[in-house]
Amino acid sequence: MESPRPDLTITELERNMNLSRREFSKSLLLASLSAVAGQWPTRVVRAAEPSIKAGTGFIDVHTHIGTYTDPKKNLTAEGLIKWMDENQIEKSCVLPLTSPESTKYLQTTESVLAAAKDHPDRLVPFCSVDPRTTHAGSVKALVGMIQAWVDQGAKGFGEHKVGLNFDDPLMMRVYEACQEVGIPLLFHIDTIRGKDVPGLKRLENALKTFPGLNFIGHGPGWWASISGGLTPK
């Protein structure tokens, strides 16, 4: 299924020279969230209490299930949904972590798809693959792998949290594949994963190279770069 496009595209945002950096970043994030949310059904049916009326809850675009750094702590899908109910979260995007720099304990796309299959009205699965894999190194191979996950229900790609420069040729292959498949990509930027420099020149290169791909920003490098202009209150 072709991914719907938001009314405001990245290319149009770049052309609008009247936008401040902060306004640009806000518009980019909203456009990306619109692309993801547009793929979700509006009808929500669940037995869990307290119930959340469709259209009244929040959407959490960044969650994980499984083990992260502490082997004694494991967040199940049921545990996540319990937290969602307690915090008025209607839907959550669940992101796998497949790169060695992203977590001590990898969280596979297959486990995320399985959790979403058990809770289709609450969990929105994303997919992910490390671009350094030797089994899907070409753009064509990546497209085939990602499309297979989309056919199983994946709505986006991420968390893209890889120990390479943001516009490394291997990373650019992933962006090209996601653009071709038609799903948004949620990325992480800092000095270790998705590496960039002040001003985010590498991200800018990716945005200009793949204007049809909806990027969703995350990570210390991203937040630090969009926080200019704030004044203490």
The three state secondary structure string of 104-148 is CCCECHHHHHHHHHHCCCCEEEEECCCCCCCCCCCHHHHHHHHHH
47 part of a folded domain: no
Averaged over 90-112, what is the pLDDT? Answer: 84
Instruction: Enter the tokens of residue 212.
Output: 């049809």
Which pLDDT tens digit goes with each residue over 133-153? 867 678 999 999 999 999 999
Q: At 97, is the pLDDT very low, low, confident or very high (cuts 50, 70, 90)?
A: confident
Per the structure, the complete domain to which residue 167 belongs is given by 27-36+57-225
**pLDDT surpassing 70 at residue 84:** yes
Lowest average pLDDT, out of 6-15, 62-71, 134-143, goes to 6-15
12 part of a folded domain: no
Omega cis (within 30) before 50: yes
Terminal-to-terminal C-alpha distance of the chain: 46
pLDDT at 62: 87
3-class secondary structure per residue, the chain = CCCCCCCCCHHHHHHCCCCCHHHHHHHHHHHHHHHHHCCCCCCCCCCCCCCCCCCCCEEEEEECCECCCCCCCCECHHHHHHHHHHCCEEEEEECCECCCCCCCCCECHHHHHHHHHHCCCCEEEEECCCCCCCCCCCHHHHHHHHHHHHHCCCCEEEEECCCCECCCHHHHHHHHHHHHHCCCEEECCCCCCCECCCCCHHHHHHHHHCCCCCEECCCHHHHHHCCCCCCCC
pLDDT at 56: 66
**What is the number of domains present in the chain?**
1
| Rounded distance between C-alpha atoms, residue 19 and residue 45, angstroms | 40
144 part of a folded domain: yes
172 part of a folded domain: yes
pLDDT at 22: 43
201 part of a folded domain: yes
Q: At 228, is the pLDDT very low, low, confident or very high (cuts 50, 70, 90)?
A: low
Assign residue 177 the CATH number of its domain.
3.20.20.140
203 part of a folded domain: yes
- What is the chain's mean pLDDT, rounded? 78
Check the CA dihedral 12-14-15-17 and report its sign: positive
Of 118 and 103, more confident:
118
102 part of a folded domain: yes
6 part of a folded domain: no
Q: At 24, is the pLDDT very low, low, confident or very high (cuts 50, 70, 90)?
A: very low
| Rounded distance between C-alpha atoms, residue 164 and residue 116, angstroms | 29
